[in-house]
Amino acid sequence: MNSPVTLSRRLFLIRSAQAGAGLTLGVALNAGAADGYTGATGKAVDDELAANAFVTLKPDNTVIITSKHMEMGQGTFTGMATIAAEELDADWSRVETVSAPSDSDTYKNLIIGMQLTGGSTSIANSWTQMREAGAAVRQMLLAAAAKQWQVPVGELTTDANQVIHGPSGRKATYGELSTAAAAMPLPDKVTLKDPKDFKLVGKQFLPRKDVGKTDGSATFTQDVRWPGMLTAVVAHPPVFGGTVKSVNADRARAMPGVKAVLEVPSGVAVLADTFWQALQARKALDIVWDEGEQADFSTAALLAQYRELAGKPGLEARNDGDAAKVLAESEQVIDAEFAFPYLAHAAMEPMNCVIQRTDKGADLWFGSQGPAWDQVNVAKVFGIKPEDVNINILYAGGSFGRRATADGNYVTEAAHIARAYGQSVPIKLVWTREDDNTEGHYRPMYVHRIRAALDEAGNVTAWHQNVVGQSIRGLDENTVDRTSVEGAANLPYAIPNIRVDSHNTVSPVAPHWWRSVGSTHSAFAVETFVDELAHAAGKDPVEFRMALLRDHPRHRAVLQLAAEKAGWGKPLPEGHFHGIAVHESFSSYVAQVAEVAQNPDGKFRIVKITCAVDCGVAVNPDVIKAQMAGGIGYGLSPLMFSEITVEKGRVQEANFDRYRVLRMNEMPAIDVHIVPSGEAPTGVGEPGTPVGPPAVANAIFAATGKRIRQLPATEFFA
């Protein structure tokens, strides 16, 4: 056991109003708050399951872990439970995870500073907090047992939801002790386990805690149904920036089940008893649109602008030495330009939101990634306080960043509909796939131009990278957006002269974060270009990188592990080729080796991806492997097929028939290896995504001698 540590955040107890209802414990984040949860927030705690706490013990011996992070498939419900249950010494089969409500003070993401699930931060920011929450509850159980049995605390141990007194052989379950534990004083110091004593953290397999997903019983936003609920669909303008000029809704209003047709800022909403009725009525609307200034907008024209900017100086994102001078004086300069299209997230569950205006505020039910933003945006629409907006956070059917909307977007639209309708009935806003795929909030288009100089010995002496695209964070033309240049400005390779330029561009299409954000494009540009430099220098791509990564041991370790596990440099079957890439994002390190095979028709099949990951302490190895595999699959779609293009203001890929995504027959075999580590844990939701595409592109180069400069590279695959 480690020595006790003072709690880094003040703990407080929540005692249920019901006698004998067990113990709940929360961690207060605001050191200045009044004692006790109730006093701090003014909310009554009469239902322990809905109480704002991280750990709840129930007399039936169930342990409920409240996850401040929403579950969208990434396994965070399992992760939060693992960490708290570890320190609590809980029986995994008796642990359940529930979602926290919207309460940004209590459930703040400690890295981001507000309640938000994103940036692959969930495990990283919760690690210490959830350990302390679990350890404090365990300590109270020990104190309760010691008092009941009149034995010293030092003689007590815990295991699998039981407190055990070795000398007497007495045992009691956590459930049996929960009420007595609730009466114990809150510990001001807790003892955290020595990692060598971990039983759950690092265990190869634990059943997931987001249950109900194999029998249809899990509730997604799409499945919420309240008595009297109406379904809303919205006719959106056909072009970006369009507005309603006039609407004739007579036919729509007369259709069965239709309750209202309402103009809202984003278009015309139809409310009906069922989705199908609403959809039919939407088709019957007669709307004249003002297409505005963007009626002729095209992504082809935008790309041409970006290519021009890629040759011009931009904002300085990094400047080591004098790259321009060295490039001008060098005999061997390699110059390449890369283009990346807009991408829709295309989560399986299109955007949706259930909302009901109440006397005091509003209740919402949906898979919110950023409840703190959503509360503010909904509150603005109604002119109420954000804390009077109550969000019940549900499972999201995928999201990949899409549901983290600082600008409100579909959530604001739902609020406008509820406001315009006026009556206090639950309304479910449903976007069709076409609504979802054509609305914007895409991974923006980018162009990268990279020029690098090699000396006679094959050393890279200068690197100049120019990144052109929209600022996801909406920064002006004079401010570098780190999300545009992440993966480029922090280039890990030891090159004496590095310059990175950034251009924030203007487009009518709303930009958004898309699983791994800047790395979605920077990793491809950097890692295929480094491969190109290795070949130009006549060096093996692994050895070439290893030498340039001399100051980055964690990059080196994953690179070496992936290469070793894939059999890099060893003979492959006829027609099979290897490519490799390494990239750090969100403080996790990933290297991947792609094995591709060329079919008789010249097209490529991605046979296998071997992945090595270093994410610090591996809390849930099985979840890490799942996230690497899923991240790889998500990243391969835009390498192979996916893109959003706009012609005459209209998105051309509205549904999966034209917005092609990876399917079963295109998924490679995946082999994931985790670097053993005692470093603080970091995220895994995003870092697997950006590495596969450059590894595959490098393998295709090995096969064909052709470099991929523009995504998607459909010609190689279909």
Partner 1 sequence: MPVTLNVNGKTHTLEVDPQTPLLWVLRDHLQLTGTKYGCGIAQCGACTVHLDGQPVRSCSVPVSAVGDQPVTTIEGAESGEFQALQKAWQDLNVYQCGYCQSGQLMSAARLLADKPDPSDADIDQYMSGNICRCATYDRIRAGIKQAASDLATEVSA
Binding site for partner 1 (CB under 8 A): 71-75, 205, 207-208, 210, 212-220, 222-223, 225, 231, 256, 274-277, 280, 346-350, 395-400, 430, 432-433, 622-623, 626, 629-634, 636, 655-657, 661-665, 667, 669-670
Tokens of 682: 């970091």
Nearest approach, Cβ of 27 to partner 1 (angstroms)?
Answer: 28
Between 280 and 484, name the residue whose CB sits nearer to partner 1: 280
In contact, 424 and 356? CB cutoff 8 Å:
yes
Tokens of 394: 């549900």
CA nearest to 45, candidates 97, 111, 103:
103
Distance, in Å, from the CA atom of 150 to the CA atom of 144, rounded to the nearest integer, reads 10
Distance, in Å, from the CA atom of 286 to the CA atom of 247, rounded to the nearest integer, reads 6
The H-or-E segment that residue 646 falls in is strand 646-647
Nearest approach, Cβ of 397 to partner 1 (angstroms)?
Answer: 3
Distance, in Å, from the CA atom of 98 to the CA atom of 699, rounded to the nearest integer, reads 44
HEC-encoded secondary structure of 323-375:
HHHHHHHCCEEEEEEEEECEECCCCCCCCEEEEEECCCCEEEEECCCCHHHHH
Task: Fill in the DSSP letter of residue 623.
Answer: H
Between 11 and 636, name the residue whose CB sits nearer to partner 1: 636
| Residue 573: burial class (beta carbons within 10 Å; 0-12, 13-18, 19+) | exposed
Between 98 and 333, name the residue whose CB sits nearer to partner 1: 98
Tokens of 524: 């491809």
Task: Fill in the DSSP letter of residue 555.
Answer: H
Instruction: Compute the CA torsion angle 145, 150, 152, 157 (nearest 10 deg).
Output: -30
- 587 φ/ψ angles, rounded to the nearest 5 degrees: 65, 15
Between 540 and 666, name the residue whose CB sits nearer to partner 1: 666
Distance, in Å, from the CA atom of 70 to the CA atom of 429, rounded to the nearest integer, reads 20
Nearest approach, Cβ of 630 to partner 1 (angstroms)?
Answer: 5
Nearest approach, Cβ of 712 to partner 1 (angstroms)?
Answer: 16
Nearest approach, Cβ of 273 to partner 1 (angstroms)?
Answer: 8
What radius of gyration, in Å, describes the C-alpha atoms of the chain?
A: 27
CA nearest to 120, candidates 613, 644, 561, 694:
613
Nearest approach, Cβ of 661 to partner 1 (angstroms)?
Answer: 6
In contact, 593 and 580? CB cutoff 8 Å:
yes
The position carrying tokens 């390498």 is 639
Between 215 and 359, name the residue whose CB sits nearer to partner 1: 215
Between 150 and 214, name the residue whose CB sits nearer to partner 1: 214
Nearest approach, Cβ of 217 to partner 1 (angstroms)?
Answer: 7
- Would you call 284 helix, strand, or coil by DSSP? coil
Nearest approach, Cβ of 270 to partner 1 (angstroms)?
Answer: 15
Between 219 and 358, name the residue whose CB sits nearer to partner 1: 219
Nearest approach, Cβ of 655 to partner 1 (angstroms)?
Answer: 6
Between 53 and 629, name the residue whose CB sits nearer to partner 1: 629
Between 264 and 346, name the residue whose CB sits nearer to partner 1: 346
Between 185 and 227, name the residue whose CB sits nearer to partner 1: 227
Between 186 and 348, name the residue whose CB sits nearer to partner 1: 348
Distance, in Å, from the CA atom of 564 to the CA atom of 548, rounded to the nearest integer, reads 19
- What's the first-to-final CA gap in the chain, in angstroms? 58
Between 73 and 101, name the residue whose CB sits nearer to partner 1: 73
Between 22 and 638, name the residue whose CB sits nearer to partner 1: 638
Nearest approach, Cβ of 6 to partner 1 (angstroms)?
Answer: 37
Nearest approach, Cβ of 606 to partner 1 (angstroms)?
Answer: 12
In contact, 73 and 48? CB cutoff 8 Å:
no
Nearest approach, Cβ of 357 to partner 1 (angstroms)?
Answer: 22
CA nearest to 639, candidates 568, 559, 579, 685:
579
The H-or-E segment that residue 530 falls in is helix 519-536
Nearest approach, Cβ of 207 to partner 1 (angstroms)?
Answer: 7
